[in-house]
């Protein structure tokens, strides 16, 4: 046998010997991904079953480089309640679930963040949670904040409108953790750009009538009415604002968190002209279109939201870290997630910082007018792209204890 052939044979033998040992640190050679989401309420269209499908797509892709592991995807409905989310998360952690993903509604995400903090084999990949406090004062060694946060979305939109001379802002803010964080982070950005906040009102989640809030905002004479709400509440506020003529005159509506499902619910006639920020759009490039086509096959033609794309992207990066470490122990896997570059069809290239913030490019879009759209789901036009290291709050400014 030639020397080169001997080396190859030896390498194969070593690989065969090492392979079982590499997975010895993974109990039962099984990885379990738990998608904790909203299946039936106001966030169900933006997350829900689509988030489960997104996790399954990540697992199917990962089986190409983890063929010897069993990878399961389970799911549960947290009903947008923090106590329910914490209870399910605790049960999952006790039963060996390795990843809790998605978790829309910031109070629910903060609760799961505490349940998974310092657990030996469970981590939290927050793709649906919005509050930037997850990588600030509440940062955890076991949490990665994947898709977006209130700092990135609010400030991208603020820069666009203040740059157009729209300097007086009024907030209609959801009266829960997400809304408070979104108003806080956007207000700081407005002030830094030379704008002012002239007033604010707080609304309960999933209200049926927003007319009093909209009228108060309209009467403020602000240049911009900033909607610090999400999902069905955002949709209903925009609908009622249109009824009062807002956006047909000098006042503009600023959507501080808008998803493509919201635009679909409103229709382009009502949503046209709204600025929004997102790290993902299904029609952004060839890779995003390829991922979205796979998703649409499972979801009756629906395109993914950025939150659903974030589940796919975050879970896939986790599984690459499992391959790299041969482990599901939280500490080495989290270290690998921070060390390895991220790259996938939904978000492209990215990275994970010490505070758990996933960095990727953020895009500013404007909703198309009906005449500009070429077909179903053709809703956005690109205005600008902000590199990931500029889109999110600077590492030193968040107050994360892990950074000190």
Task: Print the SS3 string covering the chain.
Answer: CCHHHHHHHHHHHHHHHHHHHHCCECHHHEEEEEEEECCCCCCCCCCHHHHHHHHHHHHHHHCCCCCCCEEEEEEEECCCCHHHHHHHHHHHHHCCCCEEEECCCHHHHHHHHHHHCCCCCCEEEECCCCCHHHHCCCCCCCEEECCCCHHHHHHHHHHHHHCCCCCEEEEEEECCHHHHHHHHHHHHHHHHCCCEEEEEEEECCCCCCCHHHHHHHHHCCCCEEEEECCHHHHHHHHHHHHHCCCCCCCCEEEECCCCHHHHHHHCHHHHCCCEEEECCCCCCCHHHHHHHHHHHHHCCCCCCCHHHHHHHHHHHHHHHHHHHHCECCHHHHHHHHHHCCEEECCCEEEEECCCCEEECCEEEEEECCHHHCCCCCCCEEEEEEECHHHHCCCHHHCCCCCCC
For residues 101 and 216, what is the distance between their CA atoms, to the nearest angstrom? Answer: 38
What's the pLDDT at 94? Answer: 98
* Sheet arrangement for strand 275-278: 275-278, 362-367, 380-386
> Is residue 359's pLDDT more than 90?
yes
Q: What is the pLDDT of residue 22?
A: 60
For the cut 70, the answer to whether the pLDDT of residue 52 exceeds it is yes
Q: What is the model's pLDDT at position 191?
A: 95
Rounded to an integer, the average pLDDT of 215-231 is 94
Q: What is the mean pLDDT of residues 296-306?
A: 98
CA dist 344 and 334 (Å) reads: 18
Task: Look at the alpha carbons of 61, 64, 65, 70 in this order and tell me if their dihedral is positive or negative.
Answer: positive
Strands 224-228 and 362-367 come out as: unpaired
Mean pLDDT of 255-264: 94
> Is this structure's pTM higher than 0.85?
yes
Tokens of 368: 């198309």
- Does 237 score more than 50 pLDDT? yes
Provide the pLDDT confidence category of residue 19 given band limits of 50, 70 and 90.
very low
Rounded to the nearest integer, the mean pLDDT of the chain is 92
Q: Is the pLDDT of residue 215 over 90?
A: yes
The C-alpha atoms of residue 48 and residue 128 are separated, in whole angstroms, by 10
CB 121 within 8 A of CB 98: yes
Contact 343, 244 (CB under 8 A): no
User: In the predicted model, what is the mean pLDDT of residues 248-268?
Assistant: 91
Cα 153 from Cα 74, distance rounded (Å)? 30
Phi-psi region of 54 (alpha: psi -120 to 50; beta: other; left: phi over 0): alpha
> How many Å apart are CA 369 and CA 247, to the nearest integer?
13
Edge-to-edge, what's the strand order for the sheet holding 70-77? 70-77, 30-37, 99-102, 123-126, 143-145
Cα–Cα distances (Å) from 281 to 235, 259, 290, 292, 392, in that order, read 19, 9, 12, 9, 18
Of 200, 58, 197, 186, which Cα lies nearest the Cα of 132? Answer: 186
Residue 194 has pLDDT above 70, yes or no: yes
- Determine the pLDDT at residue 17: 43
Q: How far apart are CA 109 and CA 114, in angstroms?
A: 9
The pLDDT score that the predictor gives to residue 13 is 43
pLDDT bracket for residue 230 (50, 70, 90): confident
Number of Cβ within 10 Å of residue 28's Cβ equals: 10
% of the chain residues with pLDDT over 70: 95
- Mean pLDDT confidence for 71-76: 98
Domains and CATH numbers, the chain: 25-148+284-361 (3.40.50.2300), 151-282+362-391 (3.40.50.2300)
CA separation for the pair 204, 11 (Å, rounded): 63
How many other β-carbons are positioned within 10 Å of the β-carbon of residue 288? Answer: 21
7 pLDDT tier (thresholds 50, 70, 90)? very low
């Amino acid at each position: 046998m030639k020397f080169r052939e001997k080396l190859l044979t030896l390498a194969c033998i070593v690989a065969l010997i090492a392979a079982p040992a590499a997975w010895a640190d993974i109990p039962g050679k099984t990885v379990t991904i738990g998608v904790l989401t909203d299946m039936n309420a106001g966030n169900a269209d933006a997350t829900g079953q689509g988030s489960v499908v997104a996790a399954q797509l990540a697992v199917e892709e990962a089986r190409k480089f983890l063929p010897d592991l069993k990878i399961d995807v389970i799911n549960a409905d947290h009903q947008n309640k923090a106590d329910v989310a914490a209870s399910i998360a605790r049960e999952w952690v006790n039963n060996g679930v390795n990843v809790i993903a998605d978790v829309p509604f910031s109070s629910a995400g903060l609760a799961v963040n505490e349940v998974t903090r310092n657990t030996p084999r469970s981590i939290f990949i927050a793709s649906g949670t919005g509050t930037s406090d997850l990588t600030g004062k509440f940062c955890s060694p076991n949490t990665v904040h994947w898709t977006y946060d209130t700092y990135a979305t609010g400030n991208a939109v603020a820069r666009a409108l203040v740059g157009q001379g729209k300097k007086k802002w009024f907030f209609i803010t959801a009266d829960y953790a997400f809304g408070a964080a979104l108003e806080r982070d956007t207000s700081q950005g407005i002030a830094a750009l030379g704008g002012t906040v002239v007033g604010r009102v707080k609304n309960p989640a999933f209200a049926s009538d927003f007319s009093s809030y909209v009228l108060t905002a309209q009467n403020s004479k602000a240049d911009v009415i900033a909607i610090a709400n999400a999902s069905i509440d955002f949709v209903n506020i925009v609908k009622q604002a249109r009824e009062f003529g807002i956006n047909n005159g000098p006042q503009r509506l600023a959507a501080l968190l808008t998803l493509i499902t919201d635009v679909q619910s409103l229709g382009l006639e009502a949503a046209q002209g709204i600025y929004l920020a997102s790290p993902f759009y299904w029609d952004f490039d060839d890779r995003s279109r390829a991922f979205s086509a796979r998703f649409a096959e499972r979801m009756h033609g629906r395109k993914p939201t950025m939150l659903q794309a974030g589940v796919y992207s975050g879970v896939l990066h986790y599984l690459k870290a499992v391959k790299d470490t041969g482990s599901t122990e939280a500490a080495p896997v989290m270290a690998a997630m921070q060390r390895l570059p991220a790259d996938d069809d939904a978000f492209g290239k990215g990275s994970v910082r010490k505070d758990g913030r996933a960095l990727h490019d953020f895009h500013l879009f404007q909703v198309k007018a009906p005449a500009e759209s070429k077909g179903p789901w053709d809703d956005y036009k690109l205005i600008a792209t902000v590199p990931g290291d500029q889109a999110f709050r600077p590492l030193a400014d968040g107050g994360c204890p892990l950074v000190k």
